[in-house]
Amino acid sequence: MIEKSYNPKDIEEKWYNFWLEKGYFRADSKSGKPSYCIVIPPPNVTGSLHLGHALDVTLQDILIRWKRMSGFNALWLPGTDHAGIATQNVVDKELKKEGLDRHQIGREAFVQKVWEWKKQYGDRIIHQLKRMGVSCDWSRERFTLDEGLSRAVKEVFIRLYEDGLIYRGDYIINWCPRCQTALSDLEVEHDDVKGKLYHIKYPFVAGKGHLVVATTRPETLLGDTAVAVNPADERYKDIVGKTVTLPVLNKEIPVIADEFVDMSFGTGAVKVTPAHDPNDFDIAKRHNLPFVKIMTEEGKMSEGAGPYSGQDRYKCRENILKDLSDLGLLVDVKEHLVGLGHCYRCKTVIEPYLSKQWFVKMKPLAEEAISAVRDGRINIIPSGWKNSYFDWMENIKDWCISRQIWWGHRIPVWYCREMQNEECAMRSGIIVSRETPEACPYCGAGASALIQEEDMLDTWFSSALWPFSTLGWPDETDDLRKFYPTDVLVTGFDILFFWVARMIMSGLKFMGDVPFRDVYIHALIRDAYGQKMSKSKGNVIDPLELIDNYGTDAFRFTLTAFAAQGRDIKFSVDRVEGYRHFLNKIWNASRFILMNIKQPLLLCKDIKEIDSLSLADRWILSRLSDVISEVNAALAEYRFNDAASILYQFIWHEFCDWYIEMSKLTLYGDDKQACNAAINTLVHVLEVSLRLLHPFIPFITEKLWQDIPLPDRREVEGLCVQKYPVPQDGIFNKDAESKMAVIMDAVNGIRSIRGEFNLLPSLELKAMIRAFDGTKDVLRENLVYISKLAKASDIEIGEDIRRPEDSAVAVKPAMEIFVHLKGLFDVELEIKRLQKEITKINESAVFIKKKLTNREFAAKAPETVIEENKANYKDFIEKIQKIQENIEKLKKWGKQNDVQMVEGEFVNVKQSTVRTVEGGHIELQQVGAFTIDGEKIDVTQGAAVVLKSEELNLNQSISCLSLAENASLNFSIAPVAMAKEDINVNKSAVGVMISKKIKTEGTSSLIMIAKEVEGPVTTLLDWRSALAFGAAFGGVLGLIKLLRSR
């Protein structure tokens, strides 16, 4: 027997190992099945699992498991990324702890160290992924620095170079002074920072006067080689061509005219620092200005900065401002918001820096990539991201790919120092080669004359090849033939440009085909307040902690349920707990079903072979069929959250709340055949549901599925390789669904009355239902269900039912339900209730009426809409009328139902004792009868308890009176209704309970009876309070006051 509640820890590791041992995740490059392939966005090898990964892989796993079960040769190719700068930084830090720095130990030793690090910690992320239950083909795991992938990187570099798409040159690049490397534009994060705009005087060399320039970076004036104004600027018309003196350095620089200058900004005059600003660089190129570098790679002032040489860039700013101020050249300082670039790895402020780097020409590559998306060869989902994609692609700039780091792919370039002939010189001695060259291929200089390029490639250069390099490219492998193009790429939008766009470009260039047909872009996960999670903010939720606390399945289901397209996810732990409850529900439903499979097994192989399916059976099978199509459809469109909620709704509210409850009737009944049909249906629906749920919550479904004693089970097989359900696994049956709707209406109607009158769930009700024709027949045929689910032992159904007195009503389409309430009835409450319902319906009715009477509507609205509205209106009006009739009737009754106080007396008292909850005991006195005014009253249910002791508390014995079980009390009392009206009591009151609770097998029901007035006792609704109350006031046997209706 399985445990009472679900404990994920017991099963996850076991079944993951089972899957691995069976090799279920392995794809077959020779398979004849259609293939389906996803390459994982490779996490950083030194990273650890965060929520973003968790979401990403959960969605991929859902797709892969779904496709695998749906008969595809599914390959999910896993791997990790070497993450050049990030990994290098990590190892740098380690070295620092040892008091070392990578330059001290040298390049080779450092790289060796990183490899060791990778060996030691590189598996961590993989282990963490496995805990997510991912069904990757681990036999194909790749690492971007693997030999094969490195070969692909070299090959791509060389081919791009040969095609003239890679070049080397001096340009302004983004330089991180801390990481000491160039970065691509994408690797710079822009943040608006409060800064200042300084207005500085540049005196004219000839004559008096000066020009005022505005700058946010005064320290760069040391590298100024001109001042620029707009040629159209009237203010400076006569100044162009003059010479000004560069403050502090007293260098003469020209005033030039360039259209770039924005006349409206600052003073309209710009200092030009060609070596430290990309715009100034362009201006300088146009005007042949000199380039003066004033900073070092560490972000300190260099010799070019003259007297400030050696100072930190910010210290220098302070000093220069002071000097300018002293010289009277600083004329104004204004607050100014500056968009500052920061290194995406270390957040250091980026320095635009003139430097010799390698670049990829992007425009030619981008063109094809744009049309691939435009013409639909690649589908971006949600499609809103297409705009961003096009926008970026159409304005793409060349990609700086060289990095001054040691960990990664070294640029396969050598330089010939000798350049002995023209060709060699023409090529600047650049040798691009797959192998280390023995000699210069141009001038024949020997190996000793050749120096290898020190720089490494941007990590994203290798990631861009991931969809084909992992499949074996440049070799023409079976995998490549079979799985390229891959089917879908699942990732967050944060790497759309970094990675997705570049993969598309390189796939098209080198494979001649798109790398994937769909790109599914999911949301980013934020914390409960919508903030991005980051270590520095300390708001990071560790997925492994969630897994430990709630289990992988609950975590996965939460992520899935949240994964609505196009919105960020505000993640909170509470939600995970909620979905764990869902798993517990599944667990217990399974437990119930497995417990009820009776021996010998009567399980049938095919549910369609079972005759004598009941309405409930047919209904749930029909619902199942529908759910199967909906889930498949949702998955096909990447509507993960829809799929999750469809399943949640079905399992919990249809299967558990309705079907399982109904099945109990047949399960515990005498009809063997019906019972067999029910068991088969239960098992069938469970089995199919587990298959349906498997991609979402693989562990619990596998475990439970293994526990089902299926007749044709092959012991060794796992659920994860079973067929994914198709609609034929259910049996669609419209008739059953509409009949069930009638039954549900009836049950809901009765339950509503029970709930609103606060009647005990255990109280058996007596109901009458007025219904006609088909509805009547359906109700009659399925009376047992209504009786069971609504707890109504006595139900009468007919066309000419008349509403009994003291009954509450529920009006449903095609039926009116009356529930006898007898003494429990409260006219006022019922009238209020019904009037409220009328108000509600009336609002809708008025609205529709308005529409229907509008001539334009009748003329222009589509026929179907008009019909629909008419039908709705008719229903509303009928309902309102029926309810109104009921209200009228109630008002009449209300007059007769004056409340009276009646005295009564118990007779034939026998005594017995039961224990109270608190450890005391209650003496029960069995009563043969009960009289009021000498008239003998029958008692239907429960025991009337009279507290007769003078001073009782709960730990003392309480003498009670218990009424005979088979007696009946015709004018029973509505305890709750009374209590709601504030019963008033005084000290002479006697507490009376009519309660089944006191009987061993009983349920509870409570009545406080009171005489005369003094203070409300509304709160005395639970039986312990009642006992206490009775005890406090004491009581006298026989002195009973009853509220009596009529």
Residues with Cβ within 8 Å of residue 842, at least 6 apart in sequence? 876, 880
- The tokens 């047919």 sit on which residue? 618
What minimum distance in Å lies between the beta carbon of 57 and RNA?
A: 20
* Strands ordered across the beta sheet of 399-400: 181-183, 166-176, 351-360, 399-400
Amino acid at 1008: M
Helix H or strand E encompassing 896: helix 863-896
Nearer residue to RNA within complex by CB, 265 or 772: 265
The stretch among 32-40, 93-101, 140-148, 651-659 that binds RNA (CB under 7 A) is: 651-659
Residues with Cβ within 8 Å of residue 976, at least 6 apart in sequence? 757, 758, 759, 1021
How many beta carbons lie within 10 A of that of residue 190, not counting itself? 11
Rule CB under 7 A: which of 392-411 touch RNA?
Answer: 392, 395, 397
Rule CB under 7 A: which of 869-898 touch RNA?
Answer: 869
Nearer residue to RNA within complex by CB, 64 or 674: 674
Please measure the distance between the N-terminal and C-terminal CA atoms of the chain and give it in whole angstroms: 55
Site size for RNA, by CB under 7 A? 109
Rule CB under 7 A: which of 131-190 touch RNA?
Answer: 185-186, 189-190
Indicate whether 361 belongs to the interface with RNA (CB under 7 A).
no
Nearer residue to RNA within complex by CB, 812 or 948: 812
Indicate whether 902 belongs to the interface with RNA (CB under 7 A).
no
Rounded to whole angstroms, the Cα distance separating 25 from 69 reads 11
Rule CB under 7 A: which of 697-736 touch RNA?
Answer: none
Facing residues of 167 across strands? 359
Indicate whether 642 belongs to the interface with RNA (CB under 7 A).
yes
Indicate whether 28 belongs to the interface with RNA (CB under 7 A).
no
Indicate whether 861 belongs to the interface with RNA (CB under 7 A).
yes
- The tokens 């060794």 sit on which residue? 716
Contact assessment for residue 930 and residue 905, using Cβ atoms and an 8 Å cutoff: yes
What minimum distance in Å lies between the beta carbon of 1039 and RNA?
A: 26
Nearer residue to RNA within complex by CB, 37 or 1007: 1007
Nearer residue to RNA within complex by CB, 844 or 984: 844
Helix H or strand E encompassing 424: helix 422-426
Whole-angstrom CA distances from 827 to 809, 834, 983 are 11, 11, 16
Amino acid at 653: H
Nearer residue to RNA within complex by CB, 238 or 856: 856
Indicate whether 793 belongs to the interface with RNA (CB under 7 A).
no
How many beta carbons lie within 10 A of that of residue 675, not counting itself? 20
The stretch among 69-77, 385-393, 425-433, 441-449 that binds RNA (CB under 7 A) is: 385-393
Half-sphere exposure of 358 (CA within 13 A, CB side): 24
Nearer residue to RNA within complex by CB, 223 or 730: 223
Tell whether omega for the bond before 8 is within 30 degrees of 0, i.e. cis. no
Amino acid at 478: D
Among 763, 779, 781, 754, which Cα is nearest to 942's? 763
Rule CB under 7 A: which of 495-524 touch RNA?
Answer: 497
Question: For 205-312, where are the alpha helices, taking DSSP H only?
Answer: 278-287
What minimum distance in Å lies between the beta carbon of 712 and RNA?
A: 25
CA 52 to chain centre: 10
Rule CB under 7 A: which of 262-301 touch RNA?
Answer: 262-263, 265-271, 277-279
Site string for RNA, 529-568 (x = CB under 7 A): -x-x-----------------------------x-xxxxx
What minimum distance in Å lies between the beta carbon of 166 and RNA?
A: 20
What minimum distance in Å lies between the beta carbon of 592 and RNA?
A: 3
What minimum distance in Å lies between the beta carbon of 1033 and RNA?
A: 20
Contact assessment for residue 275 and residue 352, using Cβ atoms and an 8 Å cutoff: no
Indicate whether 314 belongs to the interface with RNA (CB under 7 A).
no
Rule CB under 7 A: which of 729-758 touch RNA?
Answer: 748, 751-752, 754-756, 758
Site string for RNA, 570-599 (x = CB under 7 A): x-x-xx--x-xx-xxx--xx-xx--x----
What minimum distance in Å lies between the beta carbon of 760 and RNA?
A: 5
Given candidates 100, 656, 954, 964, which one binds RNA under the rule CB under 7 A?
656
Among 14, 51, 53, 124, which Cα is nearest to 545's? 51
| SS3 call for 275 | coil
What minimum distance in Å lies between the beta carbon of 590 and RNA?
A: 8
Rule CB under 7 A: which of 969-998 touch RNA?
Answer: 976, 997
What minimum distance in Å lies between the beta carbon of 764 and RNA?
A: 12
What minimum distance in Å lies between the beta carbon of 696 and RNA?
A: 15
What minimum distance in Å lies between the beta carbon of 372 and RNA?
A: 20
Whole-angstrom CA distances from 510 to 77, 141, 158 are 20, 22, 12
Given candidates 70, 388, 477, 539, which one binds RNA under the rule CB under 7 A?
388
Given candidates 112, 371, 762, 986, which one binds RNA under the rule CB under 7 A?
762
What minimum distance in Å lies between the beta carbon of 706 and RNA?
A: 18
Can you read off the two tokens belonging to residue 645? 């909620």
What minimum distance in Å lies between the beta carbon of 270 and RNA?
A: 4
Rule CB under 7 A: which of 420-439 touch RNA?
Answer: none
Nearer residue to RNA within complex by CB, 243 or 584: 584
Whole-angstrom CA distances from 181 to 104, 217, 293, 339, 1024 are 18, 22, 17, 21, 76
Rule CB under 7 A: which of 945-964 touch RNA?
Answer: none
* Pairing verdict, β 765-771 and 792-798: parallel
Rounded to whole angstroms, the Cα distance separating 551 from 15 reads 13
The stretch among 44-52, 369-377, 432-440, 861-869 that binds RNA (CB under 7 A) is: 861-869
Indicate whether 321 belongs to the interface with RNA (CB under 7 A).
no
Contact assessment for residue 147 and residue 154, using Cβ atoms and an 8 Å cutoff: no
Given candidates 62, 214, 405, 998, which one binds RNA under the rule CB under 7 A?
214
What minimum distance in Å lies between the beta carbon of 133 and RNA?
A: 19
What minimum distance in Å lies between the beta carbon of 581 and RNA?
A: 3
Given candidates 760, 768, 952, 998, which one binds RNA under the rule CB under 7 A?
760
The stretch among 306-314, 357-365, 615-623, 842-850 that binds RNA (CB under 7 A) is: 842-850
Given candidates 216, 311, 319, 706, which one binds RNA under the rule CB under 7 A?
216
| SS3 call for 388 | helix
The stretch among 285-293, 643-651, 679-687, 794-802 that binds RNA (CB under 7 A) is: 643-651
Q: Looking at residue 910, what DSSP letter applies?
A: E
Contact assessment for residue 354 and residue 281, using Cβ atoms and an 8 Å cutoff: yes
Site string for RNA, 1000-1019 (x = CB under 7 A): ---xx-x-------------
How many beta carbons lie within 10 A of that of residue 102, not counting itself? 20
Residues with Cβ within 8 Å of residue 467, at least 6 apart in sequence? 39, 484, 485, 486, 489, 503, 507, 515, 516
How many beta carbons lie within 10 A of that of residue 855, not counting itself? 7
Whole-angstrom CA distances from 602 to 597, 663, 683 are 8, 16, 11
What minimum distance in Å lies between the beta carbon of 116 and RNA?
A: 34
Given candidates 1021, 1028, 1037, 1039, which one binds RNA under the rule CB under 7 A?
1021
Indicate whether 237 belongs to the interface with RNA (CB under 7 A).
no
What minimum distance in Å lies between the beta carbon of 54 and RNA?
A: 16
Rounded to whole angstroms, the Cα distance separating 1029 from 1034 reads 8
| SS3 call for 356 | strand
What minimum distance in Å lies between the beta carbon of 660 and RNA?
A: 4
Q: Based on C-alpha coordinates, what's the Rg of the chain?
A: 41
Given candidates 761, 773, 915, 1000, which one binds RNA under the rule CB under 7 A?
761
